[in-house]
Amino acid sequence: MGFKFSLITLIITALGVLFILVGLYWYKSKKYQNDLWVQNVGHMTLIIGLFLSINGIGFSIKFNQ
């Protein structure tokens, strides 16, 4: 069992990390603390980023067969 990152899984994982960073910025930023819409979009972006990252890592696991 080990990790084998193909180009697709690498792109999915990198996109997930990017979404996590953008979502955290929008969700926790002092600049947008009074704007509920931006906070909600940031929260959903964070969730989508977590989903993409977990799927990218999950697809890259290569089981011994």
Number of domains in the chain: 1
Domain that holds residue 30: 2-62
How confident is the model over 10-26, as a mean pLDDT? 92
When comparing pLDDT for 38 and 63, which is higher?
Answer: 38
d(CA 60, CA 44): 24
Is residue 62 within 8 A of residue 4, CB to CB? The reply is: yes
d(CA 53, CA 61): 13
| Type and span of the H or E element at 27 | helix 7-28
Percent of the chain exceeding pLDDT 70 equals 89
Q: Which two tokens stand for residue 50?
A: 């977590």
Q: Which two tokens stand for residue 39?
A: 């906070």
pLDDT at residue 21, as a whole number: 94
d(CA 23, CA 25): 5
